[in-house]
Amino acid sequence: MICNMNIHEQYMYRCLELAGKGAGAVAPNPMVGAVLVYQDQIIGEGWHQQYGQAHAEVNCFKSVAPEDVPYIPESTLYVSLEPCAHYGKTPPCAELIVQHRVPQVVIACVDTFAQVAGKGIKILEAAGITVHTGVLEKEARALNKRFFTYHEKKRPYIILKWAQSADGYMAPEQGTKVMLSNALVQRFVHQMRSVEGAILVGYQTALKDNPYLTNRYFGKQQPLRLVIDAQNALPETLHLKTDGLQTIIYNHKSSLQFDALTYVPLAATSPLPEQIVKDLYQRGINSLIIEGGQKTLQQFLDANFWDEAFCIDTPVLLEQGTPAPQLAHALIHNSITLGDNIIKHYTRTHEYL
């Protein structure tokens, strides 16, 4: 049954707000929030806080005060994603809802994960529970865009990011290094890294910039670091190879494991983007941010493997150097001004989704 009443949207917005608290901590699981309402009063709420731990519905029921427990069988449960129906790291939430004798459940969107995919709703309806779906469905799917892309397109959600000079260059001539983005933007980038599953750079970026590719300001969550080094030619002294954090090196030569370094061979005869997204899908990585360089970014653009792009416009003039990637079939979603930098956020046009 499809239901779009304003009262339902009010409580579903709260579910989405709660769900967002799990950003960066629950992947590859979806972010989910739940609210229990009795006579227009919230008596319980919860969200999925950590991967492998209790789901939103469990935390919601646990939050109900002892004096309100008798009202659960007369309450409505709001949840931002269809309750799970399978045994994974936790028991099925759909069965938990049935056990609590909740008479009505309002769901934002169906879970397209194969082990759920409508099965949770069927469990609820078989128990005589009234189920409404489609309340703030668009917003709920947007919140879990990484999760849905992973299960529906069989690849990670891919975000491109680069900074460019006022005259359209990413970097100056060989042998020189110029910091284009300012300190505020650099903090913004660290925040982006804190919620993504993996981060990728190409050979030249790793060699010239010697980056850490870590999140140093927003919690402890770190993306899995990836670098393309076709000939295994990067120096052993780079931060990516010496700081002890997990790093995958895509190459054409070897399949080896040295402490935190994993060498993954890719075929030289096949496009790299397709091989990389396939490998990440098989590893359960549901999001990827690509930070350069120009060749790597353009390869993913040309292969149509991208979902969002963040282009950082700076006032620096380089006059010559490496041209910025060519972004086609894109819509400007919004822009953010941070000091003298402007971050332009692009999404793909609908016909190229």
Check which CATH number belongs to the domain holding 309 and give it: 3.40.430.10
DSSP letter for each residue of 22-74: GTTTSTTSPP-EEEEEETTEEEEEEE--STTS--HHHHHHHTS-GGGGGGGGG
Whether residue 140 is found in the same domain as residue 165: no
Residues 323 and 320: their CA atoms lie apart, in Å, by 8
Q: At what angle do helices 294-302 and 272-282 cross, to 10 degrees?
A: 80
Whether residue 169 is found in the same domain as residue 145: no
Whether residue 176 is found in the same domain as residue 279: yes
pLDDT of 187-246, one tens digit each?
Answer: 999 999 999 999 999 999 999 999 999 999 988 889 999 999 999 999 999 999 999 999
- Chain-centroid distance of CA 330 in Å reads 20
The parent domain of residue 58 ranges over 6-149
Q: Label residue 311 exposed, middle or buried (CB < 10 Å: 0-12, 13-18, 19+).
A: buried
CA 132-136-141 angle, to 5 degrees, is 105
Whether residue 37 is found in the same domain as residue 125: yes
- Chain-centroid distance of CA 269 in Å reads 30
Q: List active site positions.
A: 57
Q: Determine the pLDDT at residue 349.
A: 80
Whether residue 54 is found in the same domain as residue 145: yes
Place of tokens 């008596």: 43
Helix residue ranges per DSSP H, the chain: 6-19, 56-62, 93-99, 119-126, 137-143, 145-153, 183-193, 203-209, 239-242, 272-282, 294-302
Within a domain: 231: yes
Whether residue 140 is found in the same domain as residue 33: yes
Q: Which long-range contacts (CB under 8 A, 24 or more apart) does 59-66 make?
A: 59/34, 60/34, 60/35, 60/36, 61/36, 61/96, 61/100, 64/36
Contacts of residue 282, Cβ cutoff 8 Å, sequence gap at least 6: none
The pTM for the full model equals 0.90
Whether residue 104 is found in the same domain as residue 204: no
Whether residue 224 is found in the same domain as residue 105: no
Within a domain: 61: yes
Instruction: State the pLDDT confidence band at 153, using cuts at 50, 70 and 90.
Output: very high
Within a domain: 85: yes
Instruction: State the pLDDT confidence band at 328, using cuts at 50, 70 and 90.
Output: confident
Whether residue 59 is found in the same domain as residue 167: no
Check pLDDT > 90 for residue 341: yes
Whether residue 261 is found in the same domain as residue 326: yes
Residues 209 and 293: their CA atoms lie apart, in Å, by 10
At 10, the amino acid letter reads Q
pLDDT of 39-58, one tens digit each?
Answer: 999 999 999 999 989 999 99
Within a domain: 1: no
Q: Comparing 258 with 127, which gets the higher pLDDT?
A: 127
Q: Is 275 helix (H, G, I), strand (E, B) or coil?
A: helix
Q: Is 290 helix (H, G, I), strand (E, B) or coil?
A: strand
Peptide bond just before 235 cis, omega within 30 deg: no
pLDDT of 94-143, one tens digit each?
Answer: 999 999 999 999 999 998 886 777 889 999 999 999 999 999 999 999 99
State the total domains in the chain.
2
> Is residue 13 within 8 Å of residue 136, measured between CB atoms?
yes
Dihedral angle, C-alpha 104, 110, 116, 118, nearest 10 °: 70
Q: Label residue 5 exposed, middle or buried (CB < 10 Å: 0-12, 13-18, 19+).
A: exposed
Q: Where a domain ends, among 96, 121, 149? A: 149
Whether residue 212 is found in the same domain as residue 266: yes
Residues 306 and 275: their CA atoms lie apart, in Å, by 14
